[in-house]
Structures are given as structure tokens and as C-alpha cells.
Copies of this chain bind each other. A is one copy, B any other.
Amino acid sequence: MIKQPLKTVPLRHINIHDKFWDQYIRLVKEVLIPYQWDILNDRLDGVETSHCIQNFKIAAGEASGNFEGAVFQDTDVAKWLEAVSYVLGTSFDQDLERLADETINLIGRAQCEDGYINTYFTINDPSLRWTNLKEGHELYTAGHMIEAAVAYYEATGKKEFLEIMERFADLICQVFGPEEGKCHGYPGHQEIELALIRLYHATGKRKYVELAKYFIDRRGVGDNYFLQEEKRSEYKQIFPEFAEYDTKYSQSHLPVREQTTAEGHAVRAVYMYCAMADLAQLYEDEELLSACKTLWDDMVKRRMYITGSIGASGILERFTTDYDLPNNCNYSETCASIGLALFGKRMAQITKDASYIDVVERALYNTVLSGIAMDGKSFFYVNPLEVWPDNCMERTSKEHVKAVRQTWFGVACCPPNIARTLASMGQYMYFTDEDTLYVNLYITNTASVEVSGGQVKVEVGSDLTNSGHVVINVTKDASADSYHLALRIPDYVKEYKILGDSGEISGCRMEKGYLYIDNLQEEETKFVIDFEVPARFVRANPKVREDAGKIALVKGPLVYCLEEVDNGENLPAIFVDANQELEERFEEDLLGGITTITLTGKRLTDEEWQDDALYGERKNCFQEVELKAVPYHRWNNRGEGEMLVWMKELL
């Protein structure tokens, strides 16, 4: 039975001041938002031209020229505004808010009489609206604009953007739907479904959620819409590479309820699963929830990297097959991990099962952070687990793999998506229901939470990625009744100690990964938790052919890797004995302050290959080596070099 889902805590009630996370979160406001603003306005040399703001000016009739950029170019503005919203929701910034207001006003001026917004179609050919849902990205773009509008409204209380997008959403409701005469299509790139649900929550207008439901229910039913659409006279191909369209690419190969494996383009998939989860909850639709669980399991049990990334194929950024997880040519898009986190959060809210948060945490601490350099100015779109810069060559099978982060991208979804994720970390940290406060992530912060009819102030001090030491102080105001505290015990924690004010806590219950401490009544209670998070070796299921005979190093939520700068070149020639003591050391001056792991290994030498032969009946010669591992997400912050997560094991 689907019950009332857990709620998140409004971002403005959470104040993060965490040594680990602040390094990244501060980049959003200080670096990413101003940097992207310059890009949106084509003010930066040496990076891809955006033309975004210019497109809106042209669409508004305030400038002349052609549309430039991708068909979904408008989403860069949307994601920027969404990230700005989260920043404004937690810290006042008059200049930034003015910039946002001006941009929103420009969007309003670029809106057509009937509510339509999309600079590509408005500038190029309004008659082609909705004629190519497969590739046109109109609904996808609308979705990101709606998300931004809702976020801006929630952060500032200002209604202009929300009303602009309501007008567009109203138009979309007129155009699409089950009724005769309406278009019976659905988005080529899912996104608007979850956005419409957010718009419903912000406005209370039920029709938005009904349209989201229509899009989800209609998808993959009967004759595939995209294949029908292609045959119409008004259809115009946009991307030649989609000439022979594979309906799996957009998860339209089957009705969503019948889908049991995660297929196609990974970002499309997870955005759709988010909406499915939302709808399952809103409509108490057990069948849809069951589909969500099946798809989640397929992803996280068979198609996910240890770093919480998904999408194994470099071509079409897509899922392939169960247990196919190559490490040096995968796509593993940053945005896909963000979508995975968004889906996992929803599933945890519905099921109160902390195991979903284990995956969310894995994605956030590893792949999402890997997506951005420590200076906030360069980004990984693709997140391999093994890189040899020499073979990351243009026009080869590894052309999608970059050995260094890039300054910007033509299709710039990942950087602003990282920005909005970092600016909204609070959404993952706590859940509440009527009488229980759920602590999901152990990030140093203070928060004010509504529970049991009053306010509870939570102060968390956490050193999770280093010692595992966490202190939680909860203070309830007089109006709050007794309440329960549910502490997530991460899956990687084998042992932990928790002390309350009066020593060891007893009588707690564990349920689905949460430790419930019931009936807190004191005004103030302090908990000291020591999670054991020693560095340790993990292995992959032997069905993962690429990882058989290999081991990876993890510590708490972090996956570690070897880098060439610490360990010399040719990392795949290193072999490690899993039966060894691992030495951990906090290095204050390295990569912003990290715990490194020191271990020993053996490296194949070329002693037997002095003649430069390529193959031969030669002995293995080894050299003992001391190795240093660093957190995966910090790799490539010290110049170009090799990187390796899965090390070969001495068997």
C-alpha cells in the first residue's frame, strides 16, 4: 500500500556548512553561476558559443539574426535560472535576483500570444511546432523551464515566471491529451512529466498532473507515436543520425508498466522513472510503483557502476545489457547520475527504504562530484572508471572519453545540472512525516524542521568521509510533541556506535536501513555516532565480466582511484594483494584536504621485453610498488594522466 510519502525539507530551512561539500557548493554561486551567465551571453572567449540570451531576444523581436545552437538551447537558460533559484532560496543576493528577474522578463517577452515558448521553433518556423516530438525537444525544453519557474517561485515568492510557464503549460494541456482532436503524442525526451507534477504542487492545478499521467500512460502503447509521426507530410528530420529510429532509445518500445529493464538513453530513462514514481504516489498506483521498483533494481543491481553512474555505451549514451559495464569506454553521463539520484529520492520517499538513499549517496559523492573540477570551471560529461589519455582520441571508439575536464560543451546539460544539484543538496538530506525526522545524508548543517506539530532544530556535525564521526543535536520547541528520529545507517557501515545523552541507546528498531529512535521528548538531545568507515576492498559480482579478478577501494561513500601523478604510468600493469593492511592518512594540503589510502602492489616491468617485442614466451617480472589512492571524484585536478578504479588482484 502506498501511503503518504515522506516530505523533503524546504531548502531555505537548511544551512550547509560542511568542509567536504562547501568546497563544491560555494562554486555554484561564486563561479558556476557567473561563468554560465557569461556563456549564455556569449561573453567568453575560447568556449563554445551559447547564443542563448540572443535567441530569446530574437524571438522577442528585440534583435535580428538567426537561431543558433541546439534545438534545446533554451534549456541552458532554464537550468541557470533553476540553479539561481536554489541559491537565492538559501542566500539573499540582490544583483543576482535582478539578473534573474531581467531574464525572466525577457522570457516573457519571447512568449507567443498563445503562451508558446521555444526560441528554436518561434524563430525558425512556428508552423513546425509539435510536428517532430521525437527530436524537437519542445516538451523537454518546456519541462526545464517549468522546473525553473517553480524553483524561482519557491525561492523568492515571485509569481511572474510561474505565471509565464502556467500559460505555456495551459497551452500544452490544450494541445495534448486523450480527447479527440488533441495530439496523442508524448515527449521524445522525457522531462516535462516530472515538471508538470512540480507545477501541480506549486499551483494546485490538477490538470497538470493529469497531463503528466497521460504522457506516461500513453508512452509505448499501440503504434509507436514517433514512427507514425515520421510519416506525416509536415514532418521534418532534425538529426540525421536518428533516421532509423530505435524506439528503445526513448523508452517508447513498450508501455511503461511493461518495461522491466532499463533501456535506451539513460537520462531520458531516469527522468521518466522520476515521473512514474511521482504518479505512482499521487494516484496510489501500485502497478506503476511495481514497475518503478523493477526498473530501479535492473539499474542498480545489473547496470550501474560502483560510482553510481549509468549508461554503458558511448554511442547514444545508453544502457546496453545486464552486467555490461566496461570501465574505459563507458558513457556514464553526469546528468544520468543526477537523474538516478532524483529517482532514488522519490522511491525512498514513497517506501521509507533507506537503501534507495545508499544509491543516491553513491551517485552524488562520486559521479556528480566527478563532473566538476575543484575550481568549478571545467566539467566531465562522461565519467569513465579507467582512463589512459593516449587513447582518448578524436574520431575513434573512445572519442567520447575525455582525459581532462572540458571548459564547456555545445550540448551543455551537465554543468548547469551539476549547479542545480549542488544548490539543492538539501532535498536529499532530510525527510519528514508527521512525527518522524529522517536523516539521510550526514553533512554538516543546521536545519529547522517541522515535525510533530512544532519545530525541531537539527545541528549535524559530520566527518563522514574521513573518520565517520557524526554529532547530531536536536532541539525541539515547546509546540512540538514527542517525535521520532530515523537515522539512515549506510549500507557500507558494518559497525557503528551511537551514544545519546545518557550513554548507549537501547530499544531502537532498525527498519529498511533506518535506525528509529522513538519518542524523543527532551527539549534538547545530543547523539554521537561513530560509523566505522575504514578503507576497504570491494569486489564486483563475477557476472560483471570487466571486473572479474579486480578489486576497488572504497571508504564510506567514496570510491577511490589510482592516478598516474601518484603511481606512475601504466596503471593496468599494477596488481594488488587484497590481504593487506590499508593505511589511511588525512592530507590537509592535497586536493582540498582528503584522506588518502596507501597500499602496496606489484607492477609488471619490461625487464623481459628489452627487445621491444610485442608478444612472446616471456616470464612475468614484477617490481614492488607503494601505491596511493585518492577519492575518484577528485581525479584530474592535477593535470592530465592515467586513472584507474578497478585494480587487478593477485590471485
A interface residues, Cβ below 8 angstroms from B: 240, 246, 249, 300-302, 304, 306, 312-316, 318, 320-322, 324, 326, 328-329, 388, 390-391, 393-399, 494, 536-546, 548-549, 552, 570-573, 575, 602, 604-606, 609, 612-618, 620, 648-651
Distance, CA A47 to CA B538, complexed state (A): 48
User: Are A620 and B651 within 8 A (Cβ)?
Assistant: yes
- Chain B proximity of A196: nearest CB distance (Å): 30
Knowing that A313-B395, A536-B617, A548-B573 touch, tell me 19 more A-B residue pairs with CB under 8 angstroms. Answer: A312-B396, A313-B393, A315-B396, A316-B395, A320-B398, A322-B390, A324-B388, A539-B617, A539-B618, A539-B620, A540-B614, A541-B606, A541-B615, A542-B573, A545-B572, A548-B570, A548-B604, A549-B573, A620-B651
Distance, CA A540 to CA B620, complexed state (A): 10
Distance, CA A163 to CA B113, complexed state (A): 74
User: Are B612 and A316 within 8 A (Cβ)?
Assistant: no
* Closest chain B residue to A240, Cβ basis: B240
What are the residues of chain B within 8 A of A548 when measuring CB–CB?
570, 572-573, 604, 648
- Chain B proximity of A604: nearest CB distance (Å): 4
| Central interface residue in A536, A537, A544, by most chain B CB within 10 Å | A544
User: Are A537 and B617 within 8 A (Cβ)?
Assistant: yes
Known: A391-B324, A604-B549. Contact between A301 and B542, CB under 8 A? no
What are the residues of chain B within 8 A of A537 when measuring CB–CB?
617
User: Are A604 and B542 within 8 A (Cβ)?
Assistant: yes
What are the residues of chain B within 8 A of A322 when measuring CB–CB?
390
User: Are B575 and A395 within 8 A (Cβ)?
Assistant: no
- Chain B proximity of A499: nearest CB distance (Å): 26
Distance, CA A6 to CA B87, complexed state (A): 78
What are the residues of chain B within 8 A of A304 when measuring CB–CB?
614
User: Are A615 and B390 within 8 A (Cβ)?
Assistant: no
User: Are A541 and B301 within 8 A (Cβ)?
Assistant: no
User: Are B541 and A314 within 8 A (Cβ)?
Assistant: no
User: Are A318 and B395 within 8 A (Cβ)?
Assistant: yes
User: Are B542 and A396 within 8 A (Cβ)?
Assistant: no
User: Are A549 and B315 within 8 A (Cβ)?
Assistant: no
Distance, CA A235 to CA B220, complexed state (A): 44
What are the residues of chain B within 8 A of A396 when measuring CB–CB?
312-313, 315-316, 318, 320
Distance, CA A544 to CA B612, complexed state (A): 12
What are the residues of chain B within 8 A of A616 when measuring CB–CB?
538-539
User: Are B397 and A313 within 8 A (Cβ)?
Assistant: yes
Selected contact of A329 from candidates B249, B302, B329, B536, CB within 8 Å: B329
What are the residues of chain B within 8 A of A546 when measuring CB–CB?
572
Distance, CA A507 to CA B538, complexed state (A): 62
User: Are B390 and A324 within 8 A (Cβ)?
Assistant: yes
What are the residues of chain B within 8 A of A240 when measuring CB–CB?
240
User: Are B538 and A617 within 8 A (Cβ)?
Assistant: yes
User: Are B395 and A315 within 8 A (Cβ)?
Assistant: yes
**Would you list the 6 A-B pairs with minimal beta carbon distance, nearest first?**
A313-B396, A542-B604, A545-B572, A324-B391, A548-B573, A314-B397
Distance, CA A302 to CA B613, complexed state (A): 8
* Closest chain B residue to A578, Cβ basis: B620
User: Are B539 and A615 within 8 A (Cβ)?
Assistant: yes
User: Are A397 and B397 within 8 A (Cβ)?
Assistant: yes
What are the residues of chain B within 8 A of A302 when measuring CB–CB?
614
* Closest chain B residue to A571, Cβ basis: B545
Selected contact of A613 from candidates B324, B541, B545, CB within 8 Å: B541
What are the residues of chain B within 8 A of A552 when measuring CB–CB?
615
What are the residues of chain B within 8 A of A615 when measuring CB–CB?
306, 538-541, 552
Selected contact of A609 from candidates B390, B391, B541, B604, CB within 8 Å: B541
Distance, CA A609 to CA B544, complexed state (A): 12
Distance, CA A246 to CA B394, complexed state (A): 10
What are the residues of chain B within 8 A of A617 when measuring CB–CB?
494, 536-539
Known: A329-B329, A542-B609, A615-B538. Contact between A399 and B315, CB under 8 A? yes
What are the residues of chain B within 8 A of A312 when measuring CB–CB?
396
* Closest chain B residue to A549, Cβ basis: B648
User: Are B397 and A543 within 8 A (Cβ)?
Assistant: no
User: Are A388 and B542 within 8 A (Cβ)?
Assistant: no
What are the residues of chain B within 8 A of A545 when measuring CB–CB?
388, 570-573
| Central interface residue in A320, A539, A545, by most chain B CB within 10 Å | A545
- Chain B proximity of A300: nearest CB distance (Å): 7
| Central interface residue in A395, A536, A539, by most chain B CB within 10 Å | A395
- Chain B proximity of A20: nearest CB distance (Å): 22
What are the residues of chain B within 8 A of A324 when measuring CB–CB?
388, 390-391
Q: List 19 A-B contacts (CB under 8 A).
A: A246-B394, A300-B614, A313-B397, A314-B397, A316-B395, A316-B396, A318-B396, A320-B393, A321-B390, A538-B615, A541-B609, A541-B614, A542-B570, A542-B604, A542-B609, A548-B573, A549-B572, A549-B575, A602-B651
* Closest chain B residue to A394, Cβ basis: B246
What are the residues of chain B within 8 A of A314 when measuring CB–CB?
397
Distance, CA A302 to CA B398, complexed state (A): 19
- Chain B proximity of A299: nearest CB distance (Å): 10
Distance, CA A388 to CA B249, complexed state (A): 22
- Chain B proximity of A329: nearest CB distance (Å): 6
What are the residues of chain B within 8 A of A541 when measuring CB–CB?
606, 609, 612-615
Distance, CA A240 to CA B243, complexed state (A): 13
* Closest chain B residue to A651, Cβ basis: B650
What are the residues of chain B within 8 A of A570 when measuring CB–CB?
542-543, 545, 548
User: Are A301 and B395 within 8 A (Cβ)?
Assistant: no
- Chain B proximity of A402: nearest CB distance (Å): 15
